[in-house]
């Protein structure tokens, strides 16, 4: 059995890949442990609720191993795995049943206060309402198409650049911009509808 990797030395990803292709389970375990932090960050950003994140991560890793023969090393392994993670998350969002309409009545008291604050006052949202704001953002994002949702989340919530998004997804710049535009238009409409309902 090969010795365990030294914590100080850089991970021998290429070596692990070769051993996985030869059917070595220990190398597969090392690869999963190495890639897990990156995959789980992508999964958690798409799923605000904790339930199901491990199942989704499992799906992503199983897809990765199934397609490992297709990986030629043209892009870094982390990018390649990120793309699998992103497409799996998009598929998961598509598979979810259509969300009900976004309504004031469905919001918690904190979420309602936050929404009211950002729509009607120039004051900053209180720091202790950050979690409610986070949940509210995800409720609004749930109203978007999965692809558009991902783009606007990266741009506005995670503050990634368009180049980073292209790298992460393999989409071209125009496609990312179109998706961002569509998402912003939909969000604008949602806010206007909410304002109209509040004032009605």
Partner 1 sequence: MKPIDPDHSWKRLTAAARRAPVETVTAAPYGFATRIAALALAADHSGRSLFERFALRAVGVASLLAIASVCVNFSALTAEADEETIVIGDDPVALLLGPIE
Residues that bind partner 1 (CB under 8 A): 20, 23, 25-26, 28-30, 32-33, 36-37, 40-41, 44, 54, 57-58, 61-62, 65-66, 114-115, 118-122, 124-125, 127, 129-131, 133-134, 136-137, 140, 156-157, 159, 184, 187-188, 190-192, 195, 199
Which residue's CB is nearer to partner 1, number 14 or number 54?
Answer: 54
Which residue's CB is nearer to partner 1, number 118 or number 175?
Answer: 118
Shortest CB 144 distance to partner 1, Å: 12
Shortest CB 22 distance to partner 1, Å: 10
Which residue's CB is nearer to partner 1, number 85 or number 94?
Answer: 85
Shortest CB 170 distance to partner 1, Å: 23
Shortest CB 179 distance to partner 1, Å: 16
Q: Note the Cα 83 to chain centre separation in Å.
A: 11
Which residue's CB is nearer to partner 1, number 39 or number 176?
Answer: 39
């Amino acid at each position: 059995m090969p010795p365990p990797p030294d914590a100080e030395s850089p991970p021998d990803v290429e070596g692990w890949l070769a051993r996985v292709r030869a059917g070595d389970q220990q190398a597969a375990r090392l690869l999963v442990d190495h890639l897990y932090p990156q995959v789980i960050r992508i999964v958690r950003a798409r799923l605000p609720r904790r339930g199901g994140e491990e199942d989704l991560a499992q799906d992503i890793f199983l897809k990765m191993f199934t397609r490992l023969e297709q990986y030629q090393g043209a892009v870094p392994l982390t990018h390649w795995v990120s793309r699998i993670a992103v497409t799996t998350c998009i598929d998961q969002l598509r598979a979810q049943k259509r969300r009900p309409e976004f309504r004031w009545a469905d919001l918690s008291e904190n979420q309602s206060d936050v929404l009211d604050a950002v729509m009607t006052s120039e004051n900053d949202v209180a720091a202790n309402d950050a979690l409610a704001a986070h949940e509210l953002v995800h409720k609004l994002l749930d109203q978007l198409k999965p692809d558009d949702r991902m783009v606007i989340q990266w741009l506005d919530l995670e503050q990634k650049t368009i180049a980073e998004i292209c790298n992460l997804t393999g989409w071209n710049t125009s496609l990312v911009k179109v998706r961002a535009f569509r998402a912003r238009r939909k969000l604008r409409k949602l806010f206007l509808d909410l304002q109209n309902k509040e004032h009605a």
